Structure 1
Amino acid sequence: MNIFKKIFSSFSSSHQNKNDEESKYLPEKEIPVDEQFTHNFKKNGGKFLYCENEEELEENFISILQENDWFEMEALTFEKELYPFLIENKLNYKNPTNPVFLLTSCEGLIAQDGSVLLSSKQIFHHKPNDLPKNIIVVAKTSQITRTKSDGLSAIKNRYKNEIPTNITTMQCFKENKNDDFLQYGIQPKNVYLLLLENY
């Protein structure tokens, strides 16, 4: 009886060791893309507001205005679809000389690094450093992609033969205290993301 115990116990322990060794080489479980984006976006210093519906989107937009005392100020947007947000809250968006914030949509949200993908459809020819320090981005959950190449593929599919120019990403949302040469010359932006559920 002891012989069988020894055989089975040595078999099960060697089997266990083999499983442990194999699991070291298996790829890690992939984090859901929305969780990965949220984590990386917040890590970059972005402020994230989830909205279940249009009503909640409007309420959260007003909350941002209240928090920063931006009512009756100048704002900038390049998208007609976003005018109602500004009109309803008495924000001057026609030829602003000193806009307090930019209100914009985006092309995509990149989970890999928590960045916001923009193009000439949102910011025309402007570089991120030329935009106001404060930015409110209105996006949809369906716009979250795993990688930048996924985001670029989505742009290609969306616009077919009229691919926009000035495609860029923003991911610097706080002052970098370390001397990171990759962030050199990039002005950090105070970014709020209003993310509307649309799955």
Structure 2
Amino acid sequence: MNEIYAIFMNFLKRLFGNDKIGEVTDENGNEIGKFMPKPEIPIDDEFMHNFKNNGGKFLYCENKNELRLNFSEILKENKWDHTEAYCSNKSICEDFDHTHLTFNKNLGACFFLSDCEFLISNTGAILMSSCQLGDKKLSDLPLNFIIIAKTSQLIKTIGEGLQNINKRYDRNLPTNITTIKTFDENKDSDFMNYGSTPKNLYLLLLEDL
């Protein structure tokens, strides 16, 4: 098979007069054929790359203790230690009841604290619904977001996310389904992001696999 491939590549080089045809290397510098399928990027690596490229801030947490520690560091860094957090998730409020935060649904709160539906790897976006947002638009909520997610929520595409929402909620489908993918108000937006509401967003990703 390798011999046939070499003959084929030599034919192309003679035909087009280009010694570099097909000389593509992988991440280790090994030569691979131009017409061979590219190795698939792991879904977590793809998400982290796209998420950071969108301007998001990412912190990986191996366990809940590390999650609480990283959360406290975010509060200290931004001087949010004694502020209000908009949070409607009772479980999340209980996880951080050791802080000096006041949890409420005040739109004038310092930051929005929530979980999410899924993390979309091919765009680096965060998929949310009325289960997190209620009936509020993204533009209604505070500029600052802290999102708590788990590695099991990583999926490839938004289509896959919508399918999983259908399975998860069955006949009680949530409304207000939307994605957030602009996390830097100074970042140039492409056509797909036009008109979106940028958020200063921290993602705390908890390992659960």
Structure 2 length as normaliser, TM-score?
0.82
Cα offset for 1:23?
Answer: 3.3
User: Match of 1:45, SS?
Assistant: coil
User: Match of 1:60, SS?
Assistant: helix
Cα offset for 1:180?
Answer: 4.1
Cα offset for 1:13?
Answer: 5.0
1:104 partnered with 2:114: yes
Alpha-carbon distance in structure 2 between the residues aligned to 1:131 and 1:42: 22
Assess if the C-alpha contact under 8 Å between 2:88 and 2:105 holds in 1.
Answer: no
Distance 1:37 1:12, change over 3 A: closer
Cα offset for 1:31?
Answer: 0.3
Cα offset for 1:18?
Answer: 6.7
1:128 partnered with 2:138: yes
1:34-45 superposed matches below 5 A: 34-45=44-55
Number of residue-to-residue matches in the alignment: 190
Higher helix share: 1
Where structure 1 has 5 or more consecutive residues not aligned to the other structure, the ranges are 1-9
Cα offset for 1:72?
Answer: 1.4
Distance 1:15 1:148, change over 3 A: same
Alpha-carbon distance in structure 2 between the residues aligned to 1:177 and 1:116: 17
Q: Which residue of 1 aligns with 2:70?
A: 60
Deviation readout 1:111-146 (Å, 9 max, x if unpaired): 010000000000101111111100000000010001
CA RMSD of aligned residues (A): 2.4
Deviation readout 1:98-120 (Å, 9 max, x if unpaired): 20000000000000100000000
Q: Which residue of 2 aligns with 1:14?
A: 7
Distance 1:78 1:190, change over 3 A: same
1:113 partnered with 2:113: no
Alpha-carbon distance in structure 1 between the residues aligned to 2:52 and 2:119: 13
- Using the TM superposition, name which of 134-143 and 176-185 deviates more: 176-185
Q: Which residue of 2 aligns with 1:196?
A: 206
Alpha-carbon distance in structure 1 between the residues aligned to 2:104 and 2:187: 37
Percent identity between matched residues is: 45
Q: Which residue of 2 aligns with 1:151?
A: 161
Structure showing greater relative contact order (alpha-carbon pairs closer than 8 Å, 6 or more residues apart): 1
Distance 1:163 1:179, change over 3 A: closer
Distance 1:197 1:14, change over 3 A: same
Q: Which residue of 1 aligns with 2:86?
A: 76
Distance 1:148 1:182, change over 3 A: closer
User: Match of 2:33, SS?
Assistant: helix
Structure 1 length as normaliser, TM-score?
0.86
Assess if the C-alpha contact under 8 Å between 1:48 and 1:194 holds in 2.
Answer: yes
Distance 1:195 1:18, change over 3 A: farther
1:173 partnered with 2:183: yes
1:33 partnered with 2:37: no
Assess if the C-alpha contact under 8 Å between 1:73 and 1:99 holds in 2.
Answer: yes
Cα offset for 1:183?
Answer: 3.2
- Structure whose alpha-carbon radius of gyration is higher: 1
Assess if the C-alpha contact under 8 Å between 1:49 and 1:194 holds in 2.
Answer: yes
Q: Could you tell me which amino acid in structure 2 is paired with residue 44 of structure 1? A: N
Alpha-carbon distance in structure 2 between the residues aligned to 1:12 and 1:27: 14
- Using the TM superposition, name which of 171-180 and 152-161 deviates more: 171-180
Equivalent of 1:49, from 38, 59, 66? 59
Q: Which residue of 2 aligns with 1:137?
A: 147
